[in-house]
Structure 1
Amino acid sequence: MSEVSGNQLNRDTRALLARVPAVERVLSSAQAQPLIDEYGRTQVVDAIRAAADSLRRDLLAGTTFDESFSLETKLIDDASRTLAARARPHLRAVFNLTGTVLHTNLGRALLPDEAVRAVIEALTRPMNLEFDLATGSRGDRDDLIDELICELTGAEAATVVNNNAAAVLLTLSALASKKEVVVSRGELVEIGGAFRIPDIMSRAGAKLREIGTTNRTHLKDYDEAINARTALLMKVHCSNYAIEGFTKSVSVDEVAQLAHARGLPMAVDLGSGTLVDLAQFGLPTEPTVRETVEAGADLVTFSGDKLLGGPQAGLIVGRAELIRKIKKHPLKRALRVGKLTLAALEPVLQLYRAPELLRERLTTLRLLTRPAVDMQEQASRLQAVLQRTLGEAYSVTAEPMMSQIGSGALPVDQLPSFGLAMRNAAGKRGGRALMKLEEALRALPRPVLGRIADDALRLDLRCLEAADEATFVAQCAELRI
Structure 2
Amino acid sequence: MAEAAPSLRYLPSVDRVLRQPDVATLVEQHGRAETTQAVRDTLAVLREEMRPGIAFDDATIVSAVIALLDTRAQPRLKPLFNLTGTVLHTNLGRAVLAEEAVKAATAAMREAVSLEFDLASGRRGERDDHIRALVCELTGAEDATLVNNNAAAVLLALNTLSQGREAIVSRGELIEIGGAFRMPEIMARAGARLREVGTTNRTHPRDYADAMGPETGLILKVHTSNYRIEGFTAEVGSRDLAKLARRHNVPFVNDLGSGTLVDLSRFGLRKEPTVREAVEEGADLITFSGDKLLGGPQAGFIVGRKDLIAAINRNPMKRALRVDKIRLAACEATLRLYRDPDRLAQRLPTMSFLARNVEDVRQQAFRLAPVLAKILGDSAVVEGAPCSSQIGSGALPLDTIPSFGIVIRPKGGGRAVDALSAAFRSLPWPVIGRVAEGALVFDLRCLEHEDAFRDNLASLRLEAGP
Deviation string, structure 1 residues 304-326 (Cα, Å, up to 9, x no partner): 00000000000000000011111
Deviation at 1:19, TM superposition (A): 4.7
Structure 1 distance, partners of 2:53, 2:221, is: 69
2:54 to 59, 64, 67: 64
The one-letter amino acid of 1:452's match is: V
Report SS of the residue matched to 2:218.
Answer: strand
Cα distance, 1:433 vs. partner? 1.3
Q: What residue number does 1:349 align with?
A: 335
Q: Provide the residue aligned with 2:99 in structure 1.
A: 113
1:226 aligns with one of 178, 199, 212 = 212
Aligned partner of 2:275 in structure 1 is 289
Counterpart of 2:49, as a letter, is D
Match of 2:392 among 385, 389, 406: 406
Paired residues for 1:358-377 under 5 Å: 358-377=344-363
* Number of the residue aligned with 1:50: 41
* Residues 216-262 of structure 1: per-residue CA shift (max 9 Å, x gap): 11111111111111111111111110111111111111111111122
Determine the C-alpha separation between the residues in 2 that align with 1:273 and 1:56: 58
- Deviation track 1:311-355 (CA, whole Å, cap 9, x = no partner) reads 000000000001111111111111111111101100000000111
Calculate the TM-score normalised by the size of structure 1. 0.93
Match for residue 393 of structure 1? 379
Query: 1:336 and 1:425 mapped to 2: Cα distance?
Result: 52
Cα deviation, residue 425, structure 1: 4.0
**1:234–1:424 distance in 2 versus 1, CA, 3 Å:** same
Name the SS of the counterpart of 1:170 in structure 2. helix
**What one-letter code is carried by the residue in structure 2 that aligns with 1:359?**
A
**Cα distance in 2 between the residues matched to 1:318 and 1:140:** 18
Counterpart of 2:381 in 1: which secondary structure? strand
Distance in 2 between the 1:226 and 1:311 partners? 38
CA distance in 1, matches of 2:207, 2:137: 35
State the Cα deviation string for residues 42-69 of structure 1 (Å, max 9, x = none).
222222233233334333x24735xxxx
Deviation digits for residues 388-437 of structure 1 (CA, Å, limit 9, x no counterpart): 111212111100010000000010110011001111347xxx31111111
CA distance in 2, matches of 1:63, 1:271: 66
1:184 aligns with 2:143: no
- 1:50-199 correspondence runs (5 A): 50-59=41-50, 61-62=51-52, 64=54, 71-199=57-185
Paired residue type of 2:425? R
Instruction: Give the 3-state SS of the residue equivalent to 1:273 in structure 2.
Output: coil
Offset, 1:446? 1.2
**1:322 and 1:48 mapped to 2: Cα distance?**
60
Select which of 461, 469, 478 maps to 2:444.
461
CA–CA distance in structure 2, aligned partners of residues 139 and 339 of structure 1: 13
Q: Which runs of 4+ in 1 moved over 4 A?
A: 7-10
- From 312, 320, 340, the equivalent of 1:326 is 312
Task: Give the Cα–Cα distance (whole angstroms) in 1 for the partners of residues 124 and 130 of structure 2.
Answer: 13
The 3-state SS of whatever aligns with 1:316 is strand
**Counterpart code for 1:109:** A
Report how far residue 86 of structure 1 moved.
1.1
Residues 83 and 447 in structure 2, CA contact (< 8 A), matched pair in contact too:
yes
* Greater Cα offset, 304-313 or 27-36: 27-36
Q: How far did residue 456 of structure 1 move?
A: 1.3
1:407 partner SS: coil
Query: C-alpha distance in 1, partners of 2:305/2:264?
Result: 26
CA pair 142-25 structure 1, distance change in 2 beyond 3 A:
same
Matched, 1:36 2:27: yes
Q: Deviations over 1:72-95 (max 9, x none)?
A: 111110000110111111111111
Q: Please give the secondary structure, in 2, of the residue aligned with 1:31.
A: helix
Question: Does structure 1 residue 441 correspond to structure 2 residue 424?
Answer: yes
CA-to-aligned-CA distance 1:441-467 (integer Å, 9 cap, x gap): 1111111111111221111111111xx
**Structure 2 counterpart of 1:475:** 456
* Paired AA for residue 475 in structure 1: N
Secondary structure of 2:224's aligned partner: coil
User: Residues 56 and 258 of structure 1: is their aligned pair in 2 closer, same or farther, counting only changes over 3 Å?
Assistant: closer
Conserved 8 A contact 2:83-2:432: yes
TM-score by length of 2: 0.96
> Percent of counterpart pairs with the same letter?
54
What SS does the corresponding residue of 2:388 show, helix, strand or coil? strand
Question: In 1, are the aligned partners of 2:403 and 2:443 still within 8 Å (CA)?
Answer: yes
Q: Radius of gyration: which is bigger?
A: 1
In the alignment, which of 288, 298, 301 is matched to residue 287 of structure 2? 301
Give the root-mean-square deviation of aligned CA atoms: 1.6
Q: How many residue pairs end up in the alignment?
A: 461
- 1-side partners of 2:49 and 2:137: how far apart? 69
CA distance in structure 1 between the aligned counterparts of 2:9 and 2:322, rounded to whole angstroms: 61
| In structure 2, distance between residues paired with 1:45 and 1:206 | 54
CA distance in 2, matches of 1:214, 1:24: 70
User: Aligned pair in 2 of structure 1 residues 236, 56: CA closer, same or farther (>3 Å)?
Assistant: closer
Change (3 A) 1:63 1:395: farther
CA contact (8 A) 2:10 2:54 kept: no
Separation in 1 of the partners of 2:46 and 2:244?
77
Separation in 2, partners of 1:52, 1:265: 66
Q: Which amino acid aligns with 1:434?
A: V
SS of corresponding position for 2:400 = strand
